[in-house]
């Protein structure tokens, strides 16, 4: 069995970086992907929103370099978590735990507009899993 997700989209928010009680950085942000098609000669478009979670050094880099509207490629895995909220209601979320991030645009030096140059790929440091399944739920800052 294999759990792999590859998304190319634009950030809907600036990444929010928090730290677990043990000091591990984790960044979260929303990524929009869109598809377009024609139906009866009219252009149709649908946007999907994805919650992205990046741990450790990858999370720090996302927080430092990514901003709302930036075009990125995220590679990772799907993960679903469940918990009870303060009112005792059962809640769940499905998110993409990032293992790799590629910035697909960089800012032009003169006009501030993105250029088409592809740039860096960032992966978790060697020796880290990039998904941190061993971190207890109580240590997750959201």
Q: How far apart are CA 48 and CA 98, in angstroms?
A: 17
Question: At the fourth CATH level, which superfamily is domain 1-35+44-107?
Answer: Nucleic acid-binding proteins (2.40.50.140)
Question: How confident is the model at residue 107, as a pLDDT?
Answer: 57
- Indicate the domain borders of the chain: 1-35+44-107
- Average pLDDT per consecutive 10 residues, the chain (142 residues; last block may be shorter): 95 95 96 93 93 96 95 96 91 94 72 44 46 46 48
Our CA angle for 125, 126, 131, nearest 5°, is 65
Q: How far is CA 20 from CA 14, 67, 73, 142, in A?
A: 19, 22, 26, 9
3-state helix, strand, coil in the chain (%, to 5): 10, 50, 40
Question: How confident is the model at residue 105, as a pLDDT?
Answer: 81
Strands 71-84 and 5-11, by their bridges, are: antiparallel
Are 102 and 121 in contact by the 8 Å Cβ rule? The answer is yes
Question: How confident is the model at residue 115, as a pLDDT?
Answer: 46
């Amino acid at each position: 069995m294999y759990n792999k997700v590859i998304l190319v989209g634009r950030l809907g928010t600036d990444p929010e970086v928090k730290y677990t009680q043990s000091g591990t950085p984790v960044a979260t942000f929303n990524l929009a992907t869109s598809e377009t098609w024609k139906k009866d000669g009219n252009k149709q478009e649908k946007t999907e929103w994805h919650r992205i979670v990046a741990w450790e050094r990858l999370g720090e880099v996302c927080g430092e370099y990514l901003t709302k509207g930036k075009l990125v490629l995220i590679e990772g895995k799907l993960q679903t978590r469940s918990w009870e909220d303060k009112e005792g209601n059962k809640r769940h979320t499905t998110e993409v735990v990032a293992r790799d991030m590629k910035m697909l645009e960089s800012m032009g030096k003169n006009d501030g507009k993105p250029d088409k140059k592809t740039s860096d790929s960032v992966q978790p440091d060697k020796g880290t899993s990039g998904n941190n399944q061993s971190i207890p739920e109580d240590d997750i800052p959201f």
